[in-house]
Amino acid sequence: MLEELEVIKTDALTAIGPVSDESGLEEVRIGFLGKKGRLTAASAGMRDVPKELKKDVGQKLNEVRTAITTALDEKGAALTAARDAAAFASIDATLPSRPLPTGGLHPLSLVLDEAVSVLRRMGFALAEGPEIETEWHCFDALNTPEDHPARNESDTFYFENGKLLRTHTSSVQIRTMQKEVPPVRIIAPGSAFRRDEIDATHLSAFNQLEGLYVDKNVTLADLKGTLEYFFREIFGSKTEVRFRPHFFPFTEPSFEVDLKLHATGKAAKWIEIAGCGIVDPAVFSEVTTKRGDAAYDPSEVSGFAFGMGIDRLAMIMYGIPDLRLLIENDVRFLGQFS
Amino acid sequence: MNVSLKWLSDHIDFSDYSMQELDDLLTFTGIEVEGIQSLPDHLVVAEVLSSDPHPDADKLSVCQVDDGSGSPRQIVCGAKNYKVGDKVPLALPGCVLDAGDGKTFEIKEGKLRGVPSLGMMCAAAEIGLTDDADGLMILSPDLKPGTPLSEIYPAVFELEITPNRPDCLSHLGVARELAALSGKKLTGAAHHADSKTPTRVAKADEITLSTDSCPYYTARIVRGVKVGESPAWLKEKLESIGLRPINNIVDITNYVLMEMGQPLHAFDMAKLEGGINVRQAAEGEKFVALDGETYPLTAEDMVIADGKKAVAIGGVMGGEDSGVTETTTDVLLESAWFVSSDIRRTARRLNLHSDSSYRFERGADAYQVNGASDLAIKMILDLAGGTAEDEMIVAGEKPDAPAPVELDNEYVRSVIGAEISDETISGILSSLGLSGSGGKWTIPSYRLDLPRPVDLVEEVARVYGLDKVPSNQQSWFSPKSKADESYDFARKIQTTLSGLGFFETRNLKLISEAQLSDDRATTHRGMSPIRLKNPLNDEQDYLRPGLVPGLLASAERNQRFGNADLRLFELGRVFTATPKGGEVEHEHLALLMTGGRTTRSWADGKPSNLDIHDLRAALEAICPPGLNLVPVDDERLLCGCSIEIGRGKKSAKLGLAGIVPPARARELDLGAPVMVAEINLKKLIAAFSDELKYAELPKFPGSSRDMAMLVPADLAAGSVAEFFAAYEEKLLQSVELFDVFQDSSGEKLPADKKSLAYSVTYRAADRTLEANEVETAHAKLLNSLKSRLNVEFR
């Protein structure tokens, strides 16, 4: 019996050796370990083994089964590994990618989002207003003289009913003050319109970002700190910022903000980037009259306002030379920002 | 305004400043330096030594000129207005001149009709000095040949004066402002404004003021003048800032205007019939101004008239027939003050803008009217001789001088946010010509922009400089606004769509009437597009009622650029008018897809075209669960569908989706199907439920059954989906459509049928289903399908 078992083991291992595929291996397994397999048959002979030999034969039986099983498993693993290797052998990982569609945000959205993120960290909430505005919201309430050139039909788009397309997002200042009481801390991104022929530096519609802060004791020092921080977050902590006296009807004092920036390979120069100032008390007076309460009493509250062109910001940040690229939507252009 | 540095030096000495320092000083005064004009190099004074006819061209002459080098230079010239001995500007080879439109050209040695020409003699317009292009510019005979022209006409600053500072619209005004900022003293003729000439009130037949537009008018008469050319110094001064010299009298009035900012007008006495009458024009009155144009006037315009006719449009422009010419001997010099808004109205309506109207409409200083007249009269007597009447004839009254302003220094500090001392504040205001004590400041008559305390704060802030103000940084807490919410929502959509391969576009909000018909996917009923009253052109005369017109235009443009495979979207505002005429603005989102599903590559050599199902996938990615496309009848779209969340009457209708009719797509050169969808963003936000909630994951296995059914070819899959949505069976977990088959040849299926194959999954939350439970439920489902939708199972 013991010899017979040894022969079965040798035969099994010899049979497993040259097997080259999984079905051949399965045949071998059935031949030895299957219901009618040689080892199965041999183990059935256990009952005829004399009692005193049962232990030895039993041990031998286990040893042989383990040896065959191990050899089958090892061979099985080797065959699988070989099959896997064969399956992936033809793959060329250096082929170009299987294309996925590429998309991306418009550069103006990217710039705007960066600006909005910084200003939100500084505690400004968003606000909005209509683009079809009344002359009161766009001009009167913003202390613009009745015969100011901006009101001309040559400069501003009007509708038959006397309304107009807002010429700046500053009208959102008024809309907000009509609805909210101080403290008001808002930014309002949006479109504005001027009756300009389209060329490299003019669009009839452009995008602005307006800011307004009204509270008690708001000063020029607050305005300066706010805008310096904002522009340094956007353009880098060492960016030089200067405030140049200017004139706007709705702020007094008024300033234009310049940044010292350099285009690649060129000397740094001052670039005009925003307008700002302390809200003119006349604006608060208009709002007060309209509201009919004292929430914006010019002797009680003060504020600052600022506005900048997002298109201009994008031109500067990305080195875009022609505004028309921003409205052509050529995907080769848009793809540069994705 | 052009300001000559040389002219400025009459009033203030900036020889110790570099150009850059002066530029900075002006900039921080609030005067923007838009440009600095200087004449080019290699442009010199030349004397014409001889001029002979060109052998081969009647219109050309061959000149020898002295360019200061010692040997004559030959120049071929086409002008005729010079004579031998004249001094003219000569551009030597290497000189770069402005050719207009931002272009330049360089002078080179060359030949004209075979004759060598070693440079070019120039007209004033050619070297960019004035607009005089008629013949060569004849320079002062005293100039030395070879002198660079930039020495005679040194640099000129182009300044942008903000509309609140008309007092800076003169050399004296700019000098005064610079003196305040630099601490320098004004030198020389600082006190032109004071007049020593006695005045007498005009008699009725001398001057009548019969309009409110002219509160104050003065006239001074000089007899026996000799009108002629101005001396070189005066001509050079005017030329340097771009004014063309006319004759000594006119040049003097222009000089005083540019020196003091007070417009003057000189009339030829011989051409005036009777006294001066300042009156409103008659409606329809016609006036020929000295620019040769005829202007139709209205009763809103003011004219200066004599006994018979208008001789000037008051404050704007004199008449063609009453001006000073070579034959004039007696002159009436007008110096007056007009109401700014009235001048502005007339200048704007007539589109007639002169140096005079520019200053009057912004606000001139009434208190220098007499002084300006004095200065002009003095110059006339010096340069043109004659005898002035002793007295100035005046009519009307000057307007009140600016009222004093009370200023609390605490207020100044509280607006600026800096500890500026009382002394500094007083020092700044005094340097600007204000005088005061006890917080009450007297405002100079030329400062019309300082009626309120806050205006004085601006002066202090401006001169003190924001660079010295501390930077106060603080942040606040702000509650989230509605606008914040929609901004954040839009950001999510933008990010999702760009991840799906869409490019965000931004199209013009103004579109043409023709483009209105491309508004294919909006659902506003009874609303109409809004037209501008004063469009710039007919390409942009309507506000867009939807986003698809812009997307289609972008798709067409991309097609032209060679980009055929497109996934585009836009988020933006659209505009419509209600039947009652009110305007409504909505934020919309629109998608456009056309071309190949993917780029051609080794992986897919012939990508299939995008179709309406790709559009649906994109919509599902941005919409809440429960998206349905419900077919609608809309001739603007093929396969037009209403985009709905949920079913039936309670569904949220977000917008429309469909295929642009191929006929229109072909017009736009778009060959592949073009899918579009447009959604109202507010409705989309509202369709999302407020909160996300966890639902327990299934613990027990489900059981699936596949079924294939034959249905009429025109039965929409959506109808079957609707059946399943309404079908009540607790165990039914999900239904997936996994095959659609149709055979138009009729071989495998009848041609009027199609096969839809679904996999149906049954599951119970609390147990593993028994096989017979599943069989029963499935049999019930099949029966119901048969009876309700008339299907056959394959």
Label residue A268 by pLDDT band (50, 70, 90): confident
**Would you tell me how many other CB atoms lie within 10 Å of the CB of residue A112?**
20
CB-based contact B88:B139 (threshold 8 Å): yes
| A63 touches B at CB < 8 Å | no
Sequence-ordered alpha helix ranges (H) in B119-193? 149-152, 171-182
pLDDT at B190 > cutoff 60: no
Per-residue pLDDT tens digits for B73-94? 999 998 889 999 999 999 999 9
For residues A167-182, average pLDDT = 97
| Percent of chain B clearing pLDDT 90 (strictly above) | 73
pLDDT of residue B243: 92
CA dist A230 and A328 (Å) reads 30
Q: How far is B475 from chain A (nearest CA, A)?
A: 5
Label residue A143 by pLDDT band (50, 70, 90): very high
Q: What is the 3-state secondary structure (H, E, C) of B724-777?
A: HHHCCCCCEEEEEEEEEECCCCCCCCCCCEEEEEEEEEECCCCCCCCHHHHHHH
For A128, the closest of B344, B476, B483 (CB atoms) is B483
For residues B148-167, average pLDDT = 89
The answer to whether A327 contacts B507, with C-beta atoms less than 8 Å apart, is: yes
Nearest residue of A to residue B553, measured between CA atoms = A328
Q: How far is A82 from chain B (nearest CA, A)?
A: 27
Helix orientation angle between B171-182 and B422-431, rounded to the nearest 10 degrees: 160
- At B501, which amino acid appears? G
CA dist A127 and B199 (Å) reads 61
- Written as six digits, the tokens of B703 are 């059981």
Helix (H) or strand (E) holding B627: strand B627-631
Phi, psi of A140 (to 5 degrees): -55, -50
pLDDT at A332 > cutoff 90: yes
pLDDT of residue B661: 96
Per-residue pLDDT tens digits for B702-745? 999 999 999 999 889 998 999 999 999 999 999 999 999 998 88
For residues B103-129, average pLDDT = 89
Residue B588: closest CA among B567, B578, B569, B574: B574
Q: Is the pTM of this model over 0.80?
A: yes
The answer to whether A103 contacts B499, with C-beta atoms less than 8 Å apart, is: yes
Q: What is the end-to-end Cα distance of chain B in Å, rounded?
A: 89
CA dist A157 and B287 (Å) reads 32
CA dist B709 and B336 (Å) reads 97
For B505, the closest of A157, A160, A329 (CB atoms) is A329
pLDDT of residue A265: 65
| A3 touches B at CB < 8 Å | no
Per-residue pLDDT tens digits for B309-368? 999 999 999 998 899 999 999 999 999 999 999 999 999 889 999 999 999 999 999 999
| B561 touches A at CB < 8 Å | yes
| A158 touches B at CB < 8 Å | yes
| B694 touches A at CB < 8 Å | no
Q: How far is A83 from chain B (nearest CA, A)?
A: 24
Per-residue pLDDT tens digits for B287-299? 999 889 999 999 9
Nearest residue of A to residue B574, measured between CA atoms = A131
Nearest residue of A to residue B595, measured between CA atoms = A101
| B531 touches A at CB < 8 Å | yes
Helices and strands in chain B, H and E counts: 19, 42
Per-residue pLDDT tens digits for B460-499? 999 999 999 999 987 788 889 999 999 999 999 999 999 9
| A200 touches B at CB < 8 Å | no
CB-based contact B654:B679 (threshold 8 Å): yes
Q: How far is B472 from chain A (nearest CA, A)?
A: 5
Phi, psi of B66 (to 5 degrees): -95, 115
| A252 touches B at CB < 8 Å | yes
Residues from chain B that touch A103, judged by Cβ atoms under 8 A, are 497-504, 567
CB-based contact B555:B668 (threshold 8 Å): yes
Q: How far is B176 from chain A (nearest CA, A)?
A: 17
Output the CA torsion B86→B88→B94→B96 (10° steps).
Answer: -160
Which residues are within 8 A (CB) of B610 and not within 5 positions of it... i.e. 6 or more apart? B565, B567, B593, B594, B595, B596, B597, B672, B673, B675
Q: Which B-chain residues 191-230 have CB contacts (< 8 A) with chain A? A: none
Q: For testing the chain A interface, which of B342, B471, B509 should be mutated: the one with the most A CBs within 10 Å?
A: B471
Predicted ipTM? Answer: 0.88
- Written as six digits, the tokens of A46 are 């256990």
A-B Cβ pairs (cutoff 8 Å, strict): 240
| Radius of gyration for the alpha carbons in chain B, expressed in angstroms and rounded | 41
